[in-house]
Amino acid sequence: MKKKKIALIPGDGIGPEVISEGVKVLKAIEQVDANLSFEFTEYPWGCEYYLEHGKMMDENGLDQLKDTDAIYLGAVGYPGVPDHISLWDLLLKIRKGFDQYVNLRPVTLLNPSLTPLKNKTEKEIDFLVIRENSEGEYAGAGDWLFKGKPEEVVLQTGVFSRKGTERIIRYAFEEARKQKKTLTSISKANALNYSMVFWDEVFDEVGKEYPDVVTYSYLVDAASMFFVQQPERFEIVVTSNLFGDILTDIGAAITGGMGLATGANINPEREFPSMFEPVHGSAPDISGKGLANPIAAIWSVAQMMEFFGEEKWSELIVTTIKELLEENEHLTPDLGGNATTEELGNQFIKLLTG
Ligand code: GGG
């Protein structure tokens, strides 16, 4: 029997609503699978916690989480707390503290009706974005000089270390080799004449060790256009932190919206726990109304199962999401339906266990 310790951080806004549907899925799995059980510990961290305690999470928060097998996070951010505080003091603190340097974001069309692109099938929109998740443009390096003065200058420095750049590119090559797929690097070396020239050089250097992997390199502006015009070009994509963040929102837009976009923050060495989360934010405008789509959070459970080596469950969850979308009767308003978050979640469990 495998017992997995899961830390729940539902967070803000719609976070708790969607995470509670994902937890139902985990509980359904342990009911039917005699070899798996989950022990949940919930943490009240987020913006409400900040307003009460002056911090997004406990000072020894990472210590509290470090012995868990996975972190399952909902969303961060709420009016009243500046976005850079809520993001940096919780989500990014965990990603950095646990060296979760790989962000896996699938761009997979599960039903042709979901894409706004004309004549695109599921086969044509099915790729994986591997985003560098620990440094780059989100390194937190910079300065704010002469604040409020006419000569005010703000610096935000992209940090691309050899270690950080090489390891994400190597991870992507390994994945492309394993899956026998092409690998596309997305950068911007013509304008970012230090960081992205370096990125491209490392991509070429590491690529020499993988002669069996077919590679492509695009500038991020051209790649953004290809995401919407010719998504079939892509199989596995590797890119920097900021570009990956932006491109995967385009990825969400061509596959059904943010309600279906999932992301896994992985520490491949398994020295620290990895974290699974819907890509969307806290959506304060719809929180507490039962309108949130929990599919992304449920898909995050599939990514967690894959990370645990439970591919059977991972595949079954994704197949069941497909079934739910095909059935087209219990979908939330973002997908044109009138089901509540809970109704969609209950129907998902029925299909999964039925
Ligand atoms: N679901 C987590 C969440 O609330 N994400 C909001 C966000 O702004 N994320 C930025 C990022 O993924 O780097």
In a domain, 179, yes or no: yes
Question: Do the Cβ atoms of 199 and 232 come closer than 8 Å?
Answer: no
In a domain, 3, yes or no: yes
Question: Do the Cβ atoms of 175 and 236 come closer than 8 Å?
Answer: yes
pLDDT at 354: 87
Location of structure tokens 């409400």: 48
**Which residues have any ligand 1 atom within 6 Å of their CB?**
75-77, 87, 91, 245, 277-278, 280-282
Q: Is 210 designated active site?
A: no
In a domain, 262, yes or no: no
In eight-state DSSP terms, residue 208 is T
Q: Is 221 designated active site?
A: yes
Atom of ligand 1 nearest to the CA of 83: 8
Residue with the smallest CA separation from ligand 1 atom 1 is 75
Residue among 17, 71, 76 whose CB has most ligand 1 atoms within 8 A, to mutate = 76
In a domain, 248, yes or no: yes
CA-nearest of 59, 81, 60, 64 to 8 is 64
Q: Is 249 designated active site?
A: yes
Question: Do the Cβ atoms of 297 and 278 come closer than 8 Å?
Answer: yes
Q: Using the mean position of ligand 1's atoms as its centre, give its distance from the Cα of residue 353 in Å.
A: 31
Residue with the smallest CA separation from ligand 1 atom 11 is 245
Q: Using the mean position of ligand 1's atoms as its centre, give its distance from the Cα of residue 128 in Å.
A: 18
Boundary of a domain, candidates 236, 257, 278: 257
Residue with the smallest CA separation from ligand 1 atom 2 is 75
pLDDT at 213: 98
pLDDT at 247: 98
Residue among 86, 87, 239 whose CB has most ligand 1 atoms within 8 A, to mutate = 87
pTM of the model: 0.97
pLDDT at 262: 98
Residues 66 and 191 reside in one and the same domain: no
Residues 219 and 128 reside in one and the same domain: yes
Residues 116 and 219 reside in one and the same domain: yes
Q: Is 212 designated active site?
A: no
Residue with the smallest CA separation from ligand 1 atom 8 is 281
Residues 123 and 251 reside in one and the same domain: yes
Please state the domain count of the chain. Answer: 2
**Cα angle at 238 between 203 and 211, to 5 degrees?**
45
Question: Do the Cβ atoms of 135 and 160 come closer than 8 Å?
Answer: yes
Residue with the smallest CA separation from ligand 1 atom 6 is 281
Residues 232 and 178 reside in one and the same domain: yes
Question: Do the Cβ atoms of 298 and 331 come closer than 8 Å?
Answer: no
Query: Six-digit token pair at 346?
Result: 């209950």
Residues 241 and 284 reside in one and the same domain: no
Residues 69 and 116 reside in one and the same domain: no
Burial (CB count within 10 angstroms: exposed 0-12, middle 13-18, buried 19+), residue 143 = exposed
Residues 241 and 303 reside in one and the same domain: no
In a domain, 7, yes or no: yes
| Domain of 285, in residue numbers | 1-101+267-354
Residues 204 and 85 reside in one and the same domain: no
Integer Cα distance of 275 and 332 in angstroms: 26
Task: List the strands of the sheet with 2-11, edge to edge.
Answer: 36-42, 2-11, 70-75, 274-278, 262-266, 102-108, 126-132, 236-239, 183-187, 215-219
Question: Do the Cβ atoms of 265 and 279 come closer than 8 Å?
Answer: no
In a domain, 157, yes or no: yes
pLDDT at 81: 96
* CATH number for position 226: 3.40.718.10
Residues 128 and 187 reside in one and the same domain: yes
In a domain, 128, yes or no: yes
pLDDT in tens, 307-354: 999 999 999 999 999 999 999 999 999 999 999 999 999 999 999 998
Contacts of 100 (CB under 8 A, 6+ apart): 94, 133, 134, 265, 266, 267, 272, 274, 275
Query: Six-digit token pair at 321?
Result: 């999401």
Phi, psi (deg, nearest 5) at residue 66 = -65, -20
Q: Is 78 designated active site?
A: no
Question: Do the Cβ atoms of 93 and 259 come closer than 8 Å?
Answer: no
Query: Six-digit token pair at 118?
Result: 């004309």
CA atoms within 13 A on the CB side of 211: 0
In eight-state DSSP terms, residue 307 is H
Query: Six-digit token pair at 281?
Result: 């934010």
Boundary of a domain, candidates 257, 281, 301: 257
Boundary of a domain, candidates 227, 257, 287: 257
Query: Six-digit token pair at 278?
Result: 């819907």
Residues 219 and 323 reside in one and the same domain: no
Residue among 19, 102, 279 whose CB has most ligand 1 atoms within 8 A, to mutate = 279
Atom of ligand 1 nearest to the CA of 92: 13
CA distances from 78 to 29, 87, 106, 114, 294 (A): 32, 10, 26, 29, 19
Low-confidence ranges of the chain (pLDDT < 50): none
Residues 209 and 124 reside in one and the same domain: yes
